[in-house]
Chain A
């Protein structure tokens, strides 16, 4: 059974810092890995999708990497802003199942 873990569970940083969120998974036989953002009281917004054959994806200030063999992904956020405050979730797709980590709750202080 696939298990996904995200560390840290919560993170508070001052505005402008670069930061890294970590995601690990137990079964490396994945199709893809997706990073989501969830704001309080809202649904999930897709940020980046990395296919199993890829090593990284970039979108603006966000960069996600994937090391499938070691079961790890990182989400790098450059020059963080208060508007980045949210919960960040990673999810891995194995077959027809999308398994989520518990999320990292990020607070960026002005």
Chain B
């Protein structure tokens, strides 16, 4: 597609429910990143994918968070048993892989999650 697409754009959920956030990267981009931005805070790295594999899961804040990517394209970030502190905007980004020095990273508009 023309850009990184994320859905839903907004989600309000009750504490304890599970949520799935979807990211559709730019076509041909093999690298995919998930970040979280809490209100008034900076960007917090969650996870990145190279193709379908996730070599670096160090940023996931707890075992309630998981992510997968299938077919080297769409990725889903799943948050189980949501807590109020999970409220944030979840940003997805993608880039080409290989010559890392020259690869611009492109962000989607984000999925705004509110846990009530």
**How many interface residues does B have (CB within 8 Å)?**
26
Task: Note all chain A residues with C-beta closer than 8 A to B104.
Answer: 34, 46, 49
Instruction: Report A71-105 CB contacts with B as 1/0, cut-off 8 Å.
Output: 00000000000000000010101001111111100
Query: In the complex, A23→B113 CA distance in Å?
Result: 29
Q: Is the interface of A mostly helix, strand, loop or mixed?
A: strand
Tell me if A44 and B107 are in contact (CB < 8 A).
yes
Supposing A43-B108, A98-B33 touch, asked if A51 and B43 sit within 8 A by C-beta, the answer is no
In the assembly, what is the distance between CA of A54 and CA of B47, in Å? 28
Q: Does B105 contact A (CB under 8 A)?
A: yes
CB distance from B37 to the nearest CB of A (A): 9
* B106 CB to nearest chain A CB (Å): 6
Cα-based distance from A75 to B107 in the complex (angstroms): 20
B50 interface contact, C-beta 8 A:
yes
Q: List the B side residues contacting A100 at CB < 8 Å.
A: 35, 42-43
A-B residue pair count with CB separations less than 8 angstroms:
59
Q: A43-B110, A96-B48, A96-B50 are in contact. Are A103 and B105 (CB under 8 A)?
A: no
| B6 and chain A: residue at smallest CB distance | A43
| The 10 A-B residue pairs with the shortest CB-CB distance in the complex, in nearest-first order | A44-B107, A100-B43, A43-B109, A102-B42, A43-B107, A31-B101, A51-B101, A31-B100, A49-B104, A43-B110
Of the A-B pairs whose beta carbons lie under 8 Å apart in the complex, a sample of 30, sorted by A's number, is A31-B100, A32-B100, A32-B102, A32-B103, A34-B104, A34-B105, A42-B109, A42-B110, A43-B4, A43-B91, A43-B108, A45-B107, A46-B104, A46-B105, A49-B102, A51-B101, A51-B102, A91-B43, A91-B105, A96-B48, A96-B50, A96-B55, A96-B100, A97-B56, A98-B33, A98-B93, A99-B45, A101-B42, A102-B41, A102-B42
